[in-house]
Amino acid sequence: MDILNNREIAISLWLLAISIYILFSSKMAEVRNAFKGVIAAFFVRRIMTVLCLMIAYMAIVIYWLSELELWDFEQLKNTVFWCFSVGFMSLFKLEKIKQDKHFFKHSVLGNLKLLAILQFVVGVYTFSLWVEILLVPVLALLGAMLAIAENDRKHHQVKVFLEYCLSSFGVVLIVYTLYMLMTDFDEFGKEKTAYDFFVPPLLTLCYLPFVFFMLVYSTYEQVFVRLRRTIKSRLHRYTAKLYAFILFNFRLSLLERWSFQVAKANIESHSDLIDTFKYICKARHSEKNPKDVPKEQGWSPYKAKEFLVNEGLNTGFYNRSFEEDWFASSPMKEFSNGIIPDNIAYYVEGSEDVAKALKLKVNVNDASRAHQACEKLEAMAEALSMSSLRLPLSDEMKSAISGCNSYSEKVEDKTIALVVEHWPNHKFNGFDLKLLISKI
């Protein structure tokens, strides 16, 4: 029984060679010290506890699958690879998973895509060992060069050439696989090949409940840490935790929203605590049943939040910032290349029931990319104007944006203003652009 195929042996040999070089080369002393720090950070009690729980959970899953004859010992290699590539990595990406509302759906469907099936079929056949040993560093180098080229528009031609090289290799690999399927189908038709295909997706499917449990646990842990800083009374703190479990359970977004509201409040009594839950319930009801807002007053904040969803700018909740001021904002979305990319964000500001100002802000971290930033702002501003005013931008406003010049105009009962602010003493002459649509 072959434990590793030629490609896996080639990768293992290269990793072994690199490891030996790092361990014994005098030039790699700093790398060794940094690696020791990473290892020390990894073996902390909290991380090891989570990993042990994961291993115990997957041991139960594997035992259950073996009892159903869906797993056998020949799948040990694939299972170990899956643990490192999917299992462990998922635990370090919980924050990213939390932000992806469709993670669990995509995790299931991703394994059923034609591309995933094609990648598996192509991986069944490998070249001879010496060819694989030569290919591994070449492909790794091409991949690294492509990653660097993608970060700078000056390297666009290099990026195109590298993509062509990798695509050509992919075509060669597919043609080779088709040839082997026609001449050596017995290798593909083995029972082990079927196990190799469905076991990793099956492990992923069985692993999702554990990921969800860890997601819930880590979110509650973070929230309870915040409560220690914001609620001084131990009794009120324990009461808050109990109420949170009962009212929010698995609704993690509402739980986090409530914890930030608690941070703004001064909890000195049980009624103060109850008010924070009432606030969340009221805000949630307003989101599900937005009031109609007369055009001359502004916009419904819960509709305004959705104006740029199709453009990739999704705001968070519409929350109180001060006594009568409410706002919602999107995360900064990067849209350019470079070490410090430019970014754009969308803001909705107003009162509890009425949004009175819609704002786009672009941070241009390098003046040499001003043209690209202005194009991005103009496209987003056009979409915002059509969504909020049902009117396109005027030629004068477009001209002001393309020239990075401050400008203001009135459109019916609203004001559209562009404000350009240059950052003093900035190394790359950075500046920001703010486009504001507001009630007069």
- Bridge partner residues of 345 (DSSP): 361
Dihedrals phi, psi of 308, to nearest 5 degrees? -120, 25
Neighbouring CB atoms inside 10 A of 407's CB total 18
Q: Are 439 and 413 in contact (CB under 8 A)?
A: yes
Determine whether 314 is exposed, middle or buried from the number of CB atoms within 10 Å of its CB (0-12, 13-18, 19+). middle
pLDDT of residue 307: 93
Tell me the average pLDDT across 389-402: 92
Residues 6+ away with beta carbon under 8 Å from 391:
385, 411
Mean pLDDT of the chain: 83
Q: Are 396 and 360 in contact (CB under 8 A)?
A: no
pLDDT of residue 32: 80
How far are the Cα atoms of 276, 290, 317, 391 from residue 282, in angstroms, in the given order? 10, 11, 13, 33
* Residues 235/241/246/251 CA torsion (nearest 10 deg): 160
Q: Are 286 and 302 in contact (CB under 8 A)?
A: yes
Question: What is the C-alpha separation between 26 and 62, in angstroms, rounded?
Answer: 44
Question: What is the C-alpha separation between 193 and 249, in angstroms, rounded?
Answer: 42
Residues 6+ away with beta carbon under 8 Å from 173:
122
Long-range contacts for 264-269 (Cβ within 8 Å, ≥24 apart)? 264/320, 265/230, 267/230, 267/231, 267/232, 267/233, 267/236, 267/240, 268/233, 269/236
| Confidence grade of residue 412 (pLDDT, cut at 50, 70, 90) | confident
pLDDT of residue 115: 46
How far are the Cα atoms of 55, 66, 77, 79, 94 from residue 84, in angstroms, in the given order? 11, 21, 11, 9, 16
pLDDT of residue 9: 84
Residues 178-214 have pLDDT tens digits of 777 677 666 655 666 666 777 788 888 888 899 889 8
Question: What is the C-alpha separation between 104 and 14, in angstroms, rounded?
Answer: 35
Question: What is the C-alpha separation between 262 and 240, in angstroms, rounded?
Answer: 10
Whole-prediction pTM: 0.67
Residues 214-249 have pLDDT tens digits of 889 988 998 998 898 888 888 998 999 999 999 998
Q: Are 312 and 343 in contact (CB under 8 A)?
A: no
Question: Tokens 């406003």 — which residue?
Answer: 397
Helices (H), 231-327: 234-248, 252-264, 270-288, 301-304
pLDDT at residue 123 above 80?
A: no
| Range from 9-23, 64-78, 112-126, 389-403 carrying the lowest mean pLDDT | 112-126
- DSSP-assigned states of every residue in 32-79: HHHHHHHHHHHTSHHHHHHHHHHHHHHHHHHHHHHHTTS--GGGHHHH
Rg (CA), the chain: 28
**Would you say how long the chain is, in residues?**
440
- Taken in order 29, 30, 36, 39, the sign of the CA dihedral is negative
Question: Tokens 């060669």 — which residue?
Answer: 172
Q: Which of 344, 335, 435 is nearest to 393 (CA)?
A: 435
| Range from 249-253, 313-317, 337-341, 360-364 carrying the lowest mean pLDDT | 337-341
